[in-house]
Structures are given as C-alpha cells and as structure tokens.
A and B are shown apart, each in its own frame.
Chain A
Amino acid sequence: MGQVIGIGAAPKRKEDQRFLTGRGNYVSDIKRPGMTFGVFVRSPHAHAVLRGIDKAAALAAPGVVAVLTGEDVAADGLGSLPCGWGISDAKGVPMKEPPFPMLAQGKVRFVGDMVAFVIAETLEQAKSAAELLSVDYEVLPSVVGVLDAVRPDAPQLFDDVPNNVCCDWELGDKAAVESAFRKAAHVAKLSLVNNRLIGNPMEPRAAIAEYDPGKSHHTLWTTSQFPHVVRFLMSALVLKLPEHKVRVVAPDVGGGFGVKQFHYGEEAVITWAAKRVLRPVKWVADRSEGYLSDRHGRDHVTEAELALDENGKFLALRVKTLANMGGYLSTFGPNIPTNLYAPLLGGVYTTPAIYCNVKVVFTNTVPVDAYRGAGRPEATFVVERIVDVAAAEMGIDRVELRRRNMIPKEAYPYQTPVLVQYDSGDPMGCLDGALVAADVKNFGVRKAESARNGKFRGLGFSTYVEACGLAPSRFAGRLGARGGLYESATVRVHPAGQVTVLIGTHNHGQGHETTFAQIVSDKLGVPFENVDIVFGDTDRVQFGMGTYGSRSLVVGGAALSKAADKVIVKGKKIAAHLLEASEQDIHYESGKFSVAGTDRVKTIEEIAGAAYVPHNYPLEILEPGLEEQAYYDPVNFTYPGGCHIAEVEIDPETGIVTLVNYTAVDDVGTVINPMIVEGQLHGGIVQGVGQALYENAVYDDSSGQLVSGSLMDYCVPRADHLPMMKVATHSTLCTHTPMGVKGCGEVGTIGSPAAVINAVVDALSHLGVTHVDMPATPNRIWRLLQNASLPVAAE
C-alpha cells in the first residue's frame, strides 16, 4: 500500500518514468491506418503578391494525393484564424484586425507564410511535389522592424491599416504623469530594445488529422498547450464544424513555452484536408520550419522616463513602446504587449502615476505572441533598468533607491495606478534574503580579484513582480478577452478508492501529473500512487483553457482543490448514513470520516465502495457514485515576485560576458513540490539569461529573411554557459487562491534579464557605459568598449 504524499513534499515526478524510458507518446509517434503525409509550401519572400499558383506539375508528381491552396480555402468558405483579444485605442476605436487566412490569399506577408499544402503517400513524395509547385510571386518591398514600419513611406502590409499600426493603445493617467514630471527634481531617461526571441520547445510542432465519414467526426492530434481552445476556435470560427463532431488530442507534448498555446493555421488546414482526401494526414515540422512559423516573442522598442523627487522617491513613469506583431494577429498577439505589459510597470514600487502608450505594429515577420513571461519580462526590464539608470544619475545606491520606493509588506493589498491590485507580497523580504544568499557584502573582494585578472566584474539586481494565474474572466473581458479564463477539474474516485483526475490544463513538462496528484493525495488521504491525472483530450476531459500564463496550479489546481472538497462534502453525507450519525457530527481528516468524539470511522475507500455498491446507502437523498467536478474562475491575478541577483565577469579583450553567480529568492506563495518549483525557477532563469546574453531572432532589413534561421545561428543557452544557481523561496500566501499558491512557471524568465543586464552595465559603468541592449554578445560588448576608448586590454 502506497503512502500519502502531500503538499510540501518532493516526490520524484511520476511522468518521468515514461519520458526517461522512451515510452512517451508524442504526436509524431502516432501512426494511423492509411496515413498520408503533408508538407506546407511556405513563402520564400517577406512580402509579395500571389499572382497565381500552378498546381499541375505538383499534382502529376508520383504519390501526390492533393494540393490545396488559399483559393481552395476561399472556395470552401472557411474562416480566418481568430484573434482571442480585441484591444482598443484611447478613444475606444477597436484595433485593426485584418484577416489571417489559414493559407495565404492574395498576398504573403512574411517568410514562412503558408501558401499551399501538398499531401502525398510518403513524406519524400510530398516534399518532391512541393518543390514542383509553381508559385508566381510579385515581390514587394518589405519591412521587418517597428521603427521602420511606422515611417510614412514604409511598405504597407494591409490596405486598410495605415502606417501598419494595428492599435495605438494606452493605459494610465497621462495628465497626472505630465504634472508629476513638471515637479520632478530628476528625470531618468532610457531607450531600449527588447530583443525578439524564438521559443524552441524541444519537440517541434506536429499534427495528424483523421475524418470518420461514418460518424461525420474529426480527430486532430496536435502539439498544443490548450486542446479545448483549439477545438473551439477551429470548429466554431475557422472550419465551421459542430464542436461535438471534433475531438482534439494533445498527447505528450515536448515543451511549449507559449509557442504551442495558439491556434495555428496548420491545425485547421490538416483537419480540413483530412476530410477532403478521406485519409489521415500527418505533418511534423522540422526545426527550421518551426523558426519560420512558430510564433516569436518580445520585439519591443521602448522609450522610458522616470520622474523622481530630490530624495529619489519615484513620482511618475512614462513609457512609450512600439511592439512588433509580425504579419498577422496571432491568438493572443495584441494582448501581450498591452494588457500583460503596462499593468506591470508599477513593479514593486509605490510609483503613484504611470502612463504607457503602446503602438502595436504589423511587420513582414512571423507573427509575435506570448513566449514564457509574455509582456511581463518586457515590463520588468523597463522598470528595473530605469531604476538603475536613475540610481546612477542621482548617485544613490541601487539597492537603497529600491528600498526607498518599495511597497512595504504591511501595505498589501496594494492598488497600483495601472489597474492591478497586488494581494500580497514582501519584496523587501525577498531583497534581504537575496542580498545574504548572494554574499553581496563581499562582492568588492571578488571584483578586486577579477580586476587583478584583467576582468571587469559586475553585480545586477532585479526586484520584480509579475501578474499570472490567467485570469479573472470578468476583468479580462473588460480588457478585451474574447473568451473565459477559468479552469475545470473532475475528481473521479473509483469504487476501490483510486482516483482519476480529469483536468483542462495541459502538462508538457511542468510536472502536473505529480503536483496535482500530491494535492489529491493530501486532500483525500489516498496514496500518491493511486492518483492519475488525465489531460489533453477533449473527448475525455470536460473542458479547459489549457496551460499558459503560470495558470495551471493557480487556476487549474484551484478547480481541482474545489472538486476534491466536493468529494469530501459528499463523503460526509455517505459517512453520516453508514455511521448512523448526523452529517454535522462527521469529522473529516486525511481520508478518514469519523463521528466526532468517537472511534467510529469510515475510510474514503469504504465510502467509495458504498457509493458504487449502494446497498446500504441513502438513495432517497443522494445519488450513487463518487465523482465531482468544479470550475474555478479566479477573483484576481496572482502576483509572484522576488529578487534576482546576477554577477557577471567580462573579459575586455574578447567582450565575453560570463555569468559567474546567480541568486534568486522568489515569492511564489505556497509551494506544493519544492523540487518542481526549483526546476521551474532554474528553467525560467536560463531562458531569461538566454534573452540577456545569447538569444536573438534577427531579420535582414532589406530582404526580410530570418538570418538566425537555425540552432547554428540562434543561441539557446547551454549548461556550460551557466553557473550553479542559488534558488530559494520567501513566500507570502496568496489571499484569494484556495491553497495560497501564486504560480512559478514564468517568474524566472521575468526577473532574470534585467538582473543580468544590470550586472553587465555595472561591470562597465566605470567606462561610462549606461546601457547595453540584449543580447549582450561579445561583439556588442567589444563595440561598446571601443566606443568607450578603452585602452586595449592588459596583457
């Protein structure tokens, strides 16, 4: 008999047994009888008129089953890929929302835009036929950067989107901010670029679709973080199919980081194609295809100004950002640089007035959408960088300036001037803990040692907060969400007491099968090994919004907790009957229902047995069975945060930045499994360090080609880029989630870029360097040192 493993324990991850022994079942592992293979023909041009497509040669190629193009999509009357958020400008004018056809119609707008789908008996035949497709492009001038895209003479992506501006959005009290700036003793200014990133989940995207003509039923297996949302968007809005005739399965998925939380055209095309050819169709992207089609992240150009009084107290923050949307609006696209960005500009500070203007801009690049952190790393980078700039300009210690402006623990709940109200937090506590853990007091010794070796050493701080647990539906609705953001869970107690959980979140590396089992084991007092978590199949799981925005534990775990509570409530009624006591006298604790003050007890296994074999059971007042379902819609976001301290060493001869120490003390609320939390923090930090030092999606300005088109040129950080990290938690409990949890999936990525760049700038500050754009590559550092007229390094 296994044992209860509850909240706070750190069992090894249940799912790793199958992952580490090669027994996972990923989309590309799936084979269906009579399966065909599809290849997407993608635009080689960043911007072109599609003058015509001649299918003849491709259709005549060996093994070809079908060749489908945008004209076929139009002929079938199919819809456009929907955007899940509709934002508006200050006057309430809705964003420009041009159609996003699943196969290009009339024009292509980025390198990788889908032009045709070629289906053949084998993958090689499909590839050969795709090469024979004759596409007549009239190449147009293209624009890839936001600064260029808003120039009056810039190439226009859409006839009805002047200056390529999708929406000129704003948040905050502009007048109050202007007034504060007039009174300021000091104004710190900073121009920065938040570099464009590519998500790089280990498993590339893939999909298989099958149509059963006997039942008029579609099945789509897809690498998705939210299969129910794909089913809804694709059925209702794109393919116009009845939802009950569509099953979407997201089986084991090898990582997402946001890249797989959108409804992609490939999913719709394959589902549609499978019915047309009456054969299963399979598509698996390779890495390079992913780079040209997976939604990218970040890509901001920002001007920020911070007004301070003579004591360094923040008076107001003004931020203007140009955010790249790419060639079309992706599922969450316009929400990321607006609603998930500006409300975080308060940071952990008492800044009383904040104004943010974001121009959301179309360019001839892959559509940009959420990538781990999504808007919040960008906001944190602005805030934590400009605080350092202000400290340097005013001659106030960086940590001291932060302390002077930090929200004290007692001031929570704290209403910011940018919509959000932080329920709980202790930024000062996180800072104090991190200062000790990072041995900041001996930094000078380490810096001197580096100097003796001809190296520059720097220390960087990031005291940050984020908003996650997406999301309170009503609040999100006011911000433009077109869907709900609750979560659902079913707890099914089987007759012998084992438990199956059906939940609407999706586990693609986060360890939910372990964390959620711990919650159930804890609440129902059943052995950990007797709990299985089922997700990722719209035919098995009632409904769900999926996994993104650090919501799985916060929102999904809350639904699960509520469902388990309902099981206990019903269990008490059954126990009262079996124990011949009144329901009020039944005491429940850890799987045991007892009559208060007696030794009369029924275990949850006995209760389950009675519920499914109801011979002695209150059938008059209670249904048989022991299965409960709950939907949970959060009342607020959660606000994890903390303090990250990065320590770097720079070799002035080569410009190489080495991250030598990294310390994080984070407030993620209640910790269910500390091992998993630590892993999430490590992974998140590594991705943030990647943004700060290594990763950069680069487009060629004139051709619009993606220059960083493969892992040979796009640098994902590796183990040898990183030090051993010191990670700890300093938790305050969330006041509104059932278990006090706040979420931990994105904090690492949100806190770290600013910490690393602040450390780089600190290392170079004696040379007059005040800012370094990400990624701080050796070439970029060397160039800065050249411009700083550094005498060429010591021998």
Chain B
Amino acid sequence: MRAFAYHQPSEISDAVTLLTSVEDSKVLGGGMTLIPTIKQRLAAPTAVVDLAKVPALKGISDDGETVTIGAMTPHAVVAASPIVQARIPALAQLASEIGDPAVRNRGTLGGSVANNDPSADYPAAVLGLGATIITSAREIAADQFFLGLFETALQPGEIITAIRFPVPLAAGYAKFKAPASRYALVGVFVAKLAGGVRVAVTGAGPGVFRVAAMEQALNGSFEPTSIASIKIDAAGLASDIHAEADYRAHLVTVMAKRAVAAASR
C-alpha cells in the first residue's frame, strides 16, 4: 500500500468535487475490491474519497411500484430489510448469499454495481429486474449501464447514489457458487415483470447479459420446463480452472431453471 490522501465528505456534491479535482482519486464504497487492490499495490490512488459518511446514500424506501436502495447500503442490510424481503424477496436472498458475513457487512450495493465484476451477484438483479441506476448526474437504465468486464456507463467523477428496482410479479435468483471464492460461477436472475420476463446471467461471461431466447420462452409459459432445452452458446463465455466454457453454458440453463422454480415458489 502506498500513502494516499483520505477524504470523508458528507455531501454528494463534495464527493464529486473531490473526485473530479484530484487526479487519480478513487471513490470508496465498502472497499471490497479497492482496498485489497491498494494493499496489493495494483492500485495506487493519490486520494480516496470515502462515501461512508454521506447520509443521502443510505436507506431503503418503497413507493408501491419500486423499491429504492441507497448506494451505500451494505448487503447484510439489504438481506435483512423487511421492505426488500416483502417486496423483492429474490433480491434479499441474493444479498444474503454474497461472499461471507464480513463481505456482506462491509460491501455495498453501489460499490458492487459500479465495479461490475463479471462474477458479482448484484448486476444480475439490476439487469434482471430492469432497475434504474441513479447517479450524482442522471438516471441510467440497467440495459444501458453494464458495458462488459468492469466497464459501466459511469463517467469519471460520477457516483451512484441509489438504485431503483421495479417490484416484480415474481423473481428468483439461482447461483452456482465458486467453491473457493463464493462468487457466482454462474448466477441467473429471472424476473417476471408487468412488461415481460427478463433473464440476466452473471459469472458466465465477461459481464452480465440477458438471454432473449429464455425470456421469450418464459413469456409463453413461466415454467422451468419452458427453458430446459434452451442451450447457451459457449463461445465468448469465461473458461478457467473452475469451469470450462461449455460447462458454464450448461450451468446457465440449469441455474435459469432453478431461478424460475424459485420464482414460482
């Protein structure tokens, strides 16, 4: 770890000012990725802008049609939230399965979504539910937000302040945990919304993606059997010592079926 300046603003505007005025500054959410990266000297920011003390980034609210979660809400809080449990239980369940207790108590929704790790859980829910990412500058639809491996539509100095999730008619998340890291080797979030079914896959590829063929089939009949024979093309999927691409492709179908089954319960 190299020395850096540390800022702890209490207003979003101050955080944005710090991020845009100091070159090589980094925003700190829960620090689940940034801190280990700094410790390993893979990142050496000149300044770290910690959002922990910005009250506007916290809280969970329900307006009847959507649930809005502040960006700095830790996973454990989402998992235990009566609002999330009642309105989008699949999201609470997803949050309860991220990493381990230490990660769930430190890691944040905004941090996970902004980082867009290809194996992170939250991007599947954000894309699967068709959520809206609210930032310090604008609102971005999930379909326009995730741009591939660790890439998002966020501009330099732009901070996620909250995410607004539509309340689905039904939703389910099924995750094949990588045995060591507990990241999603393959995770599939399936949501039945007023506008139709959305299927989002994390872990399998270079970034979260939707599966149109499955969405179509599930719009016809929201049953696991509807998608049992839909095969995902292994080309372009991740392949590593834990799972080869064709195995990941197979798991997408298996996990999608289980997510539909979970949504139907």
Residues of A within 8 A of B (CB): 124, 127-128, 131, 288, 653-655, 694, 696, 698, 707-708, 711-716, 721, 777-779, 782-783, 795
Q: How far is the CA of A783 from the CA of B240 in the complex (A)?
A: 14
Chain A residues lying within 8 Å of B40, measured Cβ to Cβ, are 288
Question: When A653-B254, A715-B179, A715-B180 are in contact, do A696 and B247 touch as well, CB less than 8 Å?
Answer: no
Q: How far is the CA of A795 from the CA of B225 in the complex (A)?
A: 8
Complex contact B1–A779 (CB within 8 A): no
Chain B residues lying within 8 Å of A721, measured Cβ to Cβ, are 179
B114 proximal to A (CB < 8 A): no
Q: How far is the CA of A694 from the CA of B177 in the complex (A)?
A: 13
Complex contact B179–A654 (CB within 8 A): no
Complex contact A127–B41 (CB within 8 A): yes
Return the chain B residue nearest A288 by Cβ.
Answer: B40
B242 proximal to A (CB < 8 A): yes
Chain A residues lying within 8 Å of B257, measured Cβ to Cβ, are 795
Complex contact A795–B41 (CB within 8 A): no
The interface bits of chain B over 166-190 (1 if a CB of A lies within 8 angstroms of the residue's CB, else 0) are 0000000000100111010000000
Chain B residues lying within 8 Å of A124, measured Cβ to Cβ, are 1-3
Task: Please give the distance in Å from B232's CB to the nearest CB on chain A.
Answer: 14
Return the chain B residue nearest A655 by Cβ.
Answer: B247
Task: Please give the distance in Å from B119's CB to the nearest CB on chain A.
Answer: 10
Chain B residues lying within 8 Å of A288, measured Cβ to Cβ, are 40
Complex contact B180–A713 (CB within 8 A): yes
Complex contact B176–A713 (CB within 8 A): no
Which B residues from 21 to 59 make CB contacts under 8 A with A? 40-41
Complex contact A712–B241 (CB within 8 A): no
B80 proximal to A (CB < 8 A): no
Complex contact A654–B176 (CB within 8 A): yes
Question: When A124-B2, A713-B181 are in contact, do A698 and B224 touch as well, CB less than 8 Å?
Answer: no
Chain A to chain B contacts (Cβ below 8 Å), 7 pairs? A124-B1, A131-B41, A694-B180, A698-B241, A715-B179, A782-B247, A795-B224
Task: Please give the distance in Å from B188's CB to the nearest CB on chain A.
Answer: 13
Chain A residues lying within 8 Å of B176, measured Cβ to Cβ, are 654, 778
Chain B residues lying within 8 Å of A711, measured Cβ to Cβ, are 180-181
Chain A residues lying within 8 Å of B240, measured Cβ to Cβ, are 707
Question: When A124-B1, A654-B176, A795-B228 are in contact, do A713 and B250 touch as well, CB less than 8 Å?
Answer: no
Complex contact B242–A777 (CB within 8 A): yes
Question: When A131-B41, A654-B254, A707-B241 are in contact, do A783 and B224 touch as well, CB less than 8 Å?
Answer: no
Partner of B241, one of A653, A708, A716, A778: A708
Chain B residues lying within 8 Å of A694, measured Cβ to Cβ, are 179-180
Chain A residues lying within 8 Å of B143, measured Cβ to Cβ, are none
Return the chain A residue nearest B255 by Cβ.
Answer: A654
Q: How far is the CA of A782 from the CA of B253 in the complex (A)?
A: 14
Complex contact B244–A779 (CB within 8 A): yes
Complex contact A779–B181 (CB within 8 A): no
Q: A707-B241, A711-B181, A715-B180 are known contacts; what are 19 more A-B pairs with Cβ within 8 Å? A: A124-B3, A128-B2, A131-B41, A654-B251, A708-B241, A712-B181, A713-B241, A714-B180, A721-B179, A777-B179, A777-B242, A778-B176, A778-B247, A779-B243, A782-B247, A795-B224, A795-B225, A795-B228, A795-B257
Q: How far is the CA of A288 from the CA of B251 in the complex (A)?
A: 30
Task: Please give the distance in Å from B100's CB to the nearest CB on chain A.
Answer: 9
Return the chain B residue nearest A696 by Cβ.
Answer: B241
Complex contact B180–A779 (CB within 8 A): no
Complex contact A713–B242 (CB within 8 A): yes
Chain A residues lying within 8 Å of B179, measured Cβ to Cβ, are 694, 715, 721, 777
Return the chain A residue nearest B180 by Cβ.
Answer: A715
